[in-house]
Amino acid sequence: MRGAMLKISDITYAVEGRPLFEGASAVIPDGHKVGVIGRNGAGKTTLFRLIRGELSLESGAITLPAGARIGGVAQEVPGNEVSLIDTVLAADTERAALMAEAESATEAGRIAEIQTRLADIDAWSAEGRASAILRGLGFDTEAQKMPCSAFSGGWRMRVALAGVLFAQPDVLLLDEPTNYLDLEGALWLENYLQRYPHTVLIISHDRGLLNRAVGAILHLDERRLTYYAGPYDQFARQRAEQRAVQAAMARKQDARRAHLQSFVDRFKAKASKAKQAQSRVKMLEKMEVLRAPEDAARTVFSFPAPEELAPPIISMEGVSTGYGDRDILRRLSLRIDQDDRIALLGKNGQGKSTLAKLLSGRLPAREGAITRAAKLRIGFFAQHQVDELSLGDTPLQHLARALPGVLPVQLRARLAGFGLGAEQAETEVGRLSGGQKARLSLLLATLDAPHMLILDEPTNHLDIESREALVEALTAYSGAVILISHDMHLLGLVAERLWLVKDGTVRPYEDDLEGYRRMLLQADTPAKPAPAKPAAPQRPKPPSRDAVLALKAEVRKCEQRVEKITEMHQKLSEKLADPALYADDRIADLEQWNRKFAEVEEGLQRAEALWMEALEKLEEAQALG
């Protein structure tokens, strides 16, 4: 519904006596895509539960216009015999109810009403839309006809996500949706959310998604909510500037307080200065204390350094492997050296995890030869290892079992090197956060200083600070890294080589990550009819220098247009974030600003498309030249 807007007014809420929100307020304008961020445990998921009305506020209010629909991903999709496509279609409850009533209705007027409403909600194209969403999330046409019971929990969560995307609620709440997606699914979701017609709030620690799929950030910090216009990187810059100003003001005040205190200490015993000293004591008492922003506790990972081995550390010739009687990978001929940083690309089911298991020795080769360096040690991390930790034991007990005979003080130092402090060391694993469990699993995988580290989705449940720390640790690490991840930011900073796993083969991918992203998104859009094939291929003539200069000028003009419209877009976003605009006596103003915002957003999309087109023409011309 148009005009739907989420208003959070002065809310207070505590869990077991620990306050999560104290007088927190924010306004989310209609149609905005907002990333919700904050430290693990700050209360982001609780905020979603409060918005959905699952929890009762202690004070304050969360309001939406009457009739606005709120939707989020169900925690569990039933493992029943209903097909995936029918499960997703059923998520649009209005359509499902109308379709069922259409089967039994007999009164002519009601039949007409049903058919009119079905046409209004575009019910007849529903199956095509549901199928396209499932396909984007990794389910081909054959899989869509299979029952939910045929899929594991992670894949069922994708079905749940497909269902809520298909239902298109007025306010869409997504809590870390990329944790159960691969890179291809995550990029598809980014692109889908950019075009989503209503309001979106998404809890995420994925920096790429927060830069590309949202236009604002809602920051939960110190029990308050702050709304920032712009994507994550812009928020990070603003936040750093604010912290620098706060720190400078606090330093100045500390110097002033020290000066006043020094005067008091020197002269309070002297009768001639006592009055002035007393005056300064009062000034000190009245001075409101400005605190410097606390630097977040240093987030760390410290991988032990292995000794150097002669290259290659792994080589394979004509290797095939798979499960049961089915080959997944065939005739592989690959080489890995100790200084390699390789990202594995490819859709789910193509064999990325199979290759990781083959390299780590967890899966044998059926044919061909694998040669490993004699003293090669391999560290392996995958989500299933996190799930297999002993929930009743502490991290200290896990480590003591892995390193018998090592003193507790040394074990604690190892844990601290992975950001698990004294309190976490003695806490049962079942009570740790997902990020803390992931840290423990990473520590256990790297205890013996491996020469090669294989990481399969290492950032699930890690917050942004932890992801940055992981990048730093991997950059400093002196072994080989094989990385499977949906986090484009991590891949872009760590990987130096890209391997594409596709159709049973593993080959170097010659383009960069941005090229891979473009390729995936183009594959998701309907193909244009192929032009008629010319009678004889002709090599295009190189463009003249003047033509190239003209194209460069056009690119500059397009870029300036995008910058100008982006500036307008940001100003309108800030205007729409002003709570005063949502007063009852300003409804007409609000509608006018919303219309203007929609026009500017549409203009920005057109300007960006023209810019991309101009860039492509210039690149083609330069390639021919």
CB 438 within 8 A of CB 178: no
pLDDT of 51 higher than 60: yes
Same domain for 575 and 587, yes or no, is: yes
* Number of domains composing the chain: 4
Reading the block at residue 580, the tokens are 């005063």
CB 122 within 8 A of CB 130: no
Query: Of the residues 220, 235, 250, which one is the last residue of a structural domain?
Result: 235
Strand ordering across the sheet containing 70-72? 70-72, 171-175, 199-203, 33-37, 216-221, 224-229
Query: Of the residues 493, 523, 553, which one is the last residue of a structural domain?
Result: 523
* Inter-CA distances, 19 with 10, 41, 144, 221, 544, Å: 14, 11, 44, 12, 68
Same domain for 157 and 272, yes or no, is: no
CB 41 within 8 A of CB 53: no
Q: What is the CA angle 85-91-92, rounded to 5?
A: 110
pLDDT of 615 higher than 80: no
Q: What is the DSSP string of 452-509?
A: EEEEESTTTT--HHHHHHHHHHHHH--SEEEEE-S-HHHHHHH-SEEEEEETTEEEE-
**DSSP assignment, residue 448?**
T
**Cβ contacts of residue 352 below 8 Å, gap of 6+?**
182, 344, 345, 346, 456, 484, 501
Q: What is the DSSP string of 285-298?
A: HHSPPPPPPPPPPP
Range from 16-30, 113-127, 526-540 carrying the lowest mean pLDDT: 526-540
Q: Nearest Cα to 93, choosing from 121, 115, 113, 120?
A: 121
CB 555 within 8 A of CB 611: yes
The reported pLDDT for the residue numbered 287 is 60
Same domain for 60 and 203, yes or no, is: yes
Q: Is 360 exposed, middle or buried (0-12, 13-18, 19+ CB in 10 A)?
A: middle
Residue 299 falls inside a structural domain: no
**Cβ contacts of residue 517 below 8 Å, gap of 6+?**
187, 488
The reported pLDDT for the residue numbered 525 is 56
The reported pLDDT for the residue numbered 532 is 33
Same domain for 598 and 519, yes or no, is: no
The reported pLDDT for the residue numbered 526 is 42
The reported pLDDT for the residue numbered 109 is 78
Comparing 96 with 339, the larger pLDDT belongs to 339
Residue for token digits 């002519």?
A: 108
Mean local confidence (pLDDT), 35-52: 91
Mean local confidence (pLDDT), 547-569: 74
Task: Calculate the CA 132 to chain-centre distance.
Answer: 22
Same domain for 216 and 245, yes or no, is: no
Q: What CATH number does residue 18 fall under?
A: 3.40.50.300
Same domain for 454 and 593, yes or no, is: no
d(CA 376, CA 307): 10
Query: Of the residues 210, 235, 260, which one is the last residue of a structural domain?
Result: 235
Mean local confidence (pLDDT), 567-576: 78
Q: 497-544 pLDDT, tens per residue?
A: 999 999 999 999 988 898 998 888 877 654 333 333 333 444 455 666
Residue 309 falls inside a structural domain: no
Residue for token digits 């003080």?
A: 409
Q: 423-479 pLDDT, tens per residue?
A: 999 999 999 888 899 999 999 999 999 999 999 999 988 888 888 889 999 999 999
**Beta strand pairing call for 216-221 and 224-229:** antiparallel
- Name 63's bridge partners: 7
Residue 473 falls inside a structural domain: yes
Where do the DSSP E strands lie in 176-244?
A: 199-203, 216-221, 224-229
What are the φ/ψ torsions at residue 578 (nearest 5 degrees)? Answer: -75, 115
Phi/psi-derived region of residue 21, left when phi > 0, alpha when psi is between -120 and 50, beta in every other case: beta
CB 198 within 8 A of CB 4: yes
d(CA 577, CA 570): 11
Highest mean pLDDT among 181-185, 293-297, 322-326, 369-373: 369-373
The overall pTM is greater than 0.75: no
Same domain for 345 and 379, yes or no, is: yes
* Cα atoms in the Cβ-side hemisphere of radius 13 Å centred on 489: 21
**DSSP assignment, residue 147?**
B
The parent domain of residue 328 ranges over: 314-523
CB 420 within 8 A of CB 408: no
Residue for token digits 């003209």?
A: 550
* Inter-CA distances, 215 with 113, 209, 490, 521, Å: 39, 11, 21, 20
Same domain for 231 and 248, yes or no, is: no
Strand ordering across the sheet containing 314-323? 326-336, 314-323, 367-372
Same domain for 142 and 274, yes or no, is: no
Phi/psi-derived region of residue 196, left when phi > 0, alpha when psi is between -120 and 50, beta in every other case: beta
The reported pLDDT for the residue numbered 540 is 52
Same domain for 395 and 494, yes or no, is: yes
The reported pLDDT for the residue numbered 271 is 55
The reported pLDDT for the residue numbered 536 is 40
Mean local confidence (pLDDT), 121-139: 86
The reported pLDDT for the residue numbered 556 is 76
**Beta strand pairing call for 216-221 and 33-37:** parallel
pLDDT of 481 higher than 50: yes
Same domain for 274 and 359, yes or no, is: no
d(CA 400, CA 393): 11
Residue 82 falls inside a structural domain: yes
Cis peptide before 395 (omega within 30 of 0): no
Q: Nearest Cα to 499, choosing from 372, 359, 324, 380?
A: 359
d(CA 258, CA 271): 22
pLDDT of 175 higher than 60: yes
d(CA 149, CA 29): 40
The reported pLDDT for the residue numbered 625 is 59
The reported pLDDT for the residue numbered 277 is 64
Residue 301 falls inside a structural domain: no
Task: Calculate the CA 246 to chain-centre distance.
Answer: 29
pLDDT of 1 higher than 60: no
d(CA 582, CA 589): 9
Q: What's the one-letter identity of residue 607?
A: A
pLDDT of 619 higher than 80: no
Reading the block at residue 180, the tokens are 């159960």
Where do the DSSP E strands lie in 46-198?
A: 59-63, 70-72, 171-175
pLDDT of 290 higher than 70: no
Residue 349 falls inside a structural domain: yes
d(CA 575, CA 590): 10
Give the gyration radius of the chain's Cα atoms.
29
What are the φ/ψ torsions at residue 177 (nearest 5 degrees)? Answer: -65, -25
pLDDT of 296 higher than 50: no
Confidence of residue 383 (pLDDT cuts 50, 70, 90): confident
Same domain for 228 and 328, yes or no, is: no
Residue 66 falls inside a structural domain: yes
H or E element in which residue 249 lies: helix 232-267
Residue 73 falls inside a structural domain: yes
d(CA 598, CA 615): 26
pLDDT of 55 higher than 80: yes
H or E element in which residue 483 lies: strand 480-484
